Amino acid sequence: MLKRYVRRPYRDMQHVTRRGVLRRDSFTCAYCGKAANTIDHVIPRSRGGQNTWENLVAACLHCNSRKADKMLSQLGWQLRITPHRPRVAGHLVSGLQHVDAAWDEYLHAS
Ligand SMILES: [Zn+2]
């Protein structure tokens, strides 16, 4: 449960973190659907892939090590999800039953 709320600037919340990617993907491997605790670059860094929400997915250790620096097309793999930048408020408050009215403007922002 959220015990303490630290107000942070909007942009800061969007910063990509390993934990943020795992949470966005519900700790589920984007390649095989099993439990994931690592993150993987869809386009490998060695091929110009960036540290962005759109290029990072949760991956299990097995898939992560099999994929290494290959492209999905080389492996014949497909992503089970489309990686995206999380909606800030929805992402932060998901799981809460009662959302404070103060969140409204963020929850309904596109
Ligand atoms: Zn996997």
For position 35, what pLDDT does the model report?
98
| 5 occurs within a structural domain | no
Rounded distance from Cα 66 to ligand 1 centre (Å): 9
| 65 occurs within a structural domain | yes
| 79 occurs within a structural domain | yes
Rounded distance from Cα 31 to ligand 1 centre (Å): 5
Q: Give the whole-angstrom CA distance, residue 97 versus residue 90.
A: 12
DSSP state of 88: H
- Beta-carbon contacts of 60 under 8 Å, excluding residues fewer than 6 positions away, are 29, 31, 32, 34, 35, 36, 37, 38
| 11 occurs within a structural domain | no
For position 11, what pLDDT does the model report?
55
> What are the backbone angles phi and psi of residue 58, rounded to the nearest 5°?
-70, 140
Rounded distance from Cα 72 to ligand 1 centre (Å): 13
Rounded distance from Cα 84 to ligand 1 centre (Å): 19
Instruction: Report whether 39 contacts 58 (CB < 8 A).
Output: yes
For position 97, what pLDDT does the model report?
54
Rounded distance from Cα 92 to ligand 1 centre (Å): 25
- Counting the structural domains of the chain, the total is 1
Rounded distance from Cα 37 to ligand 1 centre (Å): 10
| 90 occurs within a structural domain | yes
Sign of CA dihedral 22, 19, 83, 14: positive
For position 15, what pLDDT does the model report?
82
Q: Give the whole-angstrom CA distance, residue 36 versus residue 28.
A: 5
Rounded distance from Cα 58 to ligand 1 centre (Å): 9
Range of the domain at 88: 17-107
C-alpha pair distances (Å), 105 with each of 3, 80, 89, 109: 22, 31, 9, 6
For position 100, what pLDDT does the model report?
67
* Tens digits of pLDDT across the chain (110 residues): 777 776 665 554 568 999 999 999 999 999 999 999 999 999 999 999 999 999 999 999 999 999 999 999 999 999 999 999 887 655 455 555 556 677 666 666 54
